[in-house]
Amino acid sequence: MAWSLDARIPVCLLPDPAALAGALAMGKPAALLTAEHPGPLPEGAVATASFTPAITTHLAACACCQGRSPAAQALDQLFQARARGQSKWFDRVLVLAEGLAGEAVQAALREDSMASARFRLAVPVAG
């Protein structure tokens, strides 16, 4: 029997706010990642980060962001907040994948080595 352990944080793409509310209501503690600022922390979320495609938070060509997408940088923000104790612990990341947000996060997980080392795309579970 082959064993496999993937300790990366699962990232689940959700199609709409109704699916998000349902996912937050059940399961392990979750962080929320959105393309636009989500406003106040939704009930059931323990941390949040947002990104706007094509806009970075640091100066152009800074060493930490050079060549990295805003989605990858937002995933970094979540991971660092969790690791430093600046947010409550979360076991999964939920992404409100409206518009281009889902594609941006998938690209970050596929193309950014730091994001893919810390996070993995979760297979949706039928409920």
CA nearest neighbour of 13 among 111, 118, 127, 120: 120
| Spans of all domains in the chain | 9-121
pLDDT of res. 123: 73
pLDDT of res. 52: 75
pLDDT of res. 55: 53
pLDDT tens digits in sequence order for the chain, 127 residues long: 677 788 899 999 999 888 988 999 988 999 999 888 777 888 889 999 988 755 555 555 555 556 788 999 999 999 999 999 999 999 999 998 888 889 999 999 999 999 999 999 997 654 4
Contact 49, 33 (CB under 8 A): yes
pLDDT of res. 126: 46
pLDDT of res. 59: 57
Determine the distance from the C-alpha atom of residue 97 to the mean position of all C-alpha atoms in its chain, rounded to a whole number: 10
